[in-house]
Amino acid sequence: MTSRREFVQGGDIRASAPAAFQRAVFDERFPAARAFAAEAQRRGWAVTAIRGDITELWRQELAKAWREGPVPVAGMTQDNALFCLERLAWDAGLRLTCRRREACDGLVSWMMLPPASRA
């Protein structure tokens, strides 16, 4: 079984990625992030594009979803977007569990899970 570490290190979604993930966030300005999103979408995850700013993502999707419970999220964004998402995720009971700097465009692959989901 692929570990969360292998998932993030690969910069993509492996066949045995954690089943808990149903949502992905990506920065549509970058080809590697778009490839990540295409694979997430193929798996049936809700996929949301950003362009560096998470404001609309927060207002339109995550604020409501996270009020109802800690929805695990995976993504590929730049550091500034991840920083903001991580701060907001704390209130929903999610924690950044994996983070890996990608080789291009200043991108970071990451996952946020509730504490009970961490292995």
Q: Which amino acid is at 4?
A: R
- CA end-to-end span of the chain, whole Å? 13
pLDDT digits (tens, 9 = 90+) for 34-66: 999 999 999 899 999 999 999 999 999 999 988
pTM of the model: 0.80
Ranges of each domain in the chain:
4-11+20-117
pLDDT digits (tens, 9 = 90+) for 77-114: 999 999 999 999 998 899 999 899 998 889 999 999 98
Beta bridge partners of 112: 73, 96
| Rounded distance between C-alpha atoms, residue 69 and residue 40, angstroms | 21
Beta bridge partners of 98: 111
CA 72 to chain CA mean position, Å: 8
